[in-house]
Amino acid sequence: MEEFLRACRRTLQEDVGPAGPGVHVVLGNEACDVDSMVSALAFAYFLFRVRCCGDPPVLPLLNIRQSELVLRSDNLFLLRRTGLSPDLLLFRDQLDLRALHTAGRLRLTLVDHNVLPSSDADLEGAVVEVLDHHQLERKASPSCPVTVEMVGSCATLVTERIIQKAPQILDQQLAQLLYGTASMVLDCVNMAPAAGKVTPKDSQYAAALETRFPALPPRGALFQELQEAKFDVSGEFMSFCASLLPPSHLSLSPRWDFYLALQVSRKLLSVQSKVSFRLTGNKLASRKKLLPIVKNFLRECDGDCCLGDAEEESVVPPTPMNSLVEGCPLDEGLPKITAEDLQDKFRQMDSADL
């Protein structure tokens, strides 16, 4: 794996560009959590090892800027634990995907998400394969094979593909990356059935890695280390998260109180539709299960008829004056938030959720 990543960096520096031979990029989601990072690294390595002569070079690309990796403490921990330097990784701000696509030199495989956000919609024509474990949102296409299965982590599906198609490429380092993610430990909450996330396939491939590599760290110990690293967050990191989700529009507290306030259309700017969920004490509640409900609601509210005629009397309670709606002093000069904007944000949160 280390030599592969070094070769990827050399490719980036020497060969990749609009005038070069082209490239096959394996792209994780915008959250770039451990599952997304490892799935991109491992699946790119798999494609590299099974590619045919004449195929373009394969690059794993983390879908964040290089400067943002320091904010992902669990990613850094797992990299250190497996002996991989973060300096070997490739990031979104190091490769111009649009220029490559415009030149007809980009092939794109999506892992840990199955649709591109609206900001990357122009890259859709480059997508050649999808491997994901979230709710399917992608339209079927004969030119793009899609594997979507609601398992605990995308790394489970990557492990399955490797063991079925190229088991010889597995070594201790790659196995530990997969095991520590999918390990089905972090994304499956240490494989505990009570968590409501583990599936038989997660258990099957965790056991397969343990059998093949008995020197893997004990499951419970690795889970504890990853959890501690994941929640070892600084004030800077919390500020970063807060900047992604303005509290005026979305609040997710540690007790999973969920409150969403949104403007459903320009015709209904004076009406604020409110969806609230109280999930305190529900161990099975997670954003991954909650967000599809909200996204369906947003789709329904994307037209002018979401809540009926604007002239009809609304049953929605009066809007507080500190909310960003028409007539509020805080709204002056601020851009309106559309349902599409919120769907993109929820897609990022969905991908990042355990």
User: What value, to the nearest 5°, has the Cα angle with vertex 29 and ends 6 and 209?
Assistant: 65
Distance CA 11, CA 94 (A): 12
Task: For residue 241, tell me if it sits in a domain.
Answer: no
pTM of the model: 0.69
Measure the CA–CA gap between 21 and 103, rounded to whole angstroms.
10
* Axis crossing angle, helix 154-165 with helix 200-212, rounded to the nearest 10: 50
User: Distance between CA 32 and CA 62 in Å, rounded?
Assistant: 7
Selected residue with higher pLDDT from 280 and 68 = 68
Which one has a higher pLDDT value, 121 or 287? 121
Number of domains in the chain: 1
* C-alpha gyration radius of the chain: 22
Does residue 149 belong to any structural domain of this protein? yes
**DSSP summary character for residue 216:** S
User: What integer best gives the mean pLDDT of the chain?
Assistant: 75
Helix (H, G, I), strand (E, B) or coil at 152: coil
Token pair of 40, please?
């991109």
Domain assignment present for residue 310? The answer is no
Can you say whether the dihedral through the CA atoms of 118, 350, 61, 26 is positive or negative?
A: negative
pLDDT of residue 247: 46
DSSP annotation of 312: S
Per-residue pLDDT tens for 320-345? Answer: 443 333 344 444 444 555 656 666 66
For residue 174, what pLDDT is reported?
A: 97
Residue 302 lies in a domain: no
For residues 153 and 185, what is the distance between their CA atoms, to the nearest angstrom?
Answer: 9
| CATH number reported for the structural domain that contains residue 29 in this entry | 3.90.1640.10
Q: 236 in a domain, yes or no?
A: no
Residue-number span of the structural domain to which 139 is assigned: 1-15+23-231
Residue 239, SS3? helix
The one-letter amino acid code at 230 reads: K
Q: Is residue 267 part of a domain?
A: no
pLDDT at 90: 97
Coil, strand, or helix at residue 334? coil
Could you tell me what percentage of the chain is helix, strand and coil, using 3-state DSSP and rounding each to the nearest 5? 45, 15, 40
Q: Is 169 helix (H, G, I), strand (E, B) or coil?
A: helix
The answer as to whether 293 is a domain residue is: no
Q: 163 lies in a domain?
A: yes
State the angle between helix axes of 287-300 and 339-352 in degrees (0 to 180), rounded to the nearest 10: 170
Q: Is residue 81 a contact partner of residue 225, using CB atoms and an 8 Å limit?
A: yes
User: What does the pLDDT read at residue 219?
Assistant: 78
Q: pLDDT of 250-273, one tens digit each?
A: 444 433 334 344 444 443 333 334
Residues 133, 153 contacting (CB under 8 angstroms): yes
